[in-house]
Amino acid sequence: MASVLVVEDDQFVRSALIRHLTEASHTVRSVGTALEALREVAHIGFDVVILDLGLPDLDGAEALKMLRGVTDVPVIIATARDDEAEIVRLLNDGADDYLTKPFSVEHLSARMSAVLRRARGAVAGGEAPSGVVRVGGLTVDPLRRRAALDGVALDLTRREFDLLAFLAGRPGVVVARRELLAEVWQQSYGDDQTIDVHLSWLRRKLGETAASPRYLHTLRGVGVKLEPPR
């Protein structure tokens, strides 16, 4: 069971989503504008937000950026737009997944389950790892979702932590981009730019750059590996 915020101005679609999610034993609140959504997430801890892009007061893409300014809650975009470039931008701006309207309730349930598994720190096999991983001066605690570099806590977004934890669990192993998309983003396909953007943010917090890597090493055309500095 999850706590869900539905942000949708179409009353028919909104009612259908509320009915389906409630029948699936989720706790549901709903609003029809971006500003109402911001107020809700600022005061209530949700497990997932389903965000329509065509809101009356603010475009959903801008609403997503504002949401990311106040919360790390998983966001699934519900949109009638199918432009790939825009979808990539939304993912880069912090969306966890998207659904193109019209979609079935079964499809929504499957996407929600995948997003919630990632948000709750699940890994392949369905169990959260309990061991703290140490790679050089980097410490990653998957269970408590904490990471530190040389004893200093790292302020990571949920997606940055997922990416770091996945790579840290395979030190020295080159992980293909396709595998990163499948395991970290729960996507069977996507644009490499999504990975590059998050790697760039993560490198910045690790005090390195792509030109002068310490922990994160990109092998062009192959993948990414994390290993201790030499």
Burial class (CB in 10 A: 0-12, 13-18, 19+), 53: buried
Q: Coil, strand or helix: which one is 128? A: coil
Q: What is the pLDDT of residue 30?
A: 95
3-119: CATH number? 3.40.50.2300
Domain boundaries, the chain: 3-119, 133-226
* Confidence (pLDDT) at 28: 93
Give the dihedral of Cα atoms 128, 131, 135, 140; nearest 10 deg: 60
**In the chain, which stretches have pLDDT less than 50?**
122-130
pTM for the model stands at: 0.56
For the domain made up of 133-226, give the CATH fold: Arc Repressor Mutant, subunit A (1.10.10)
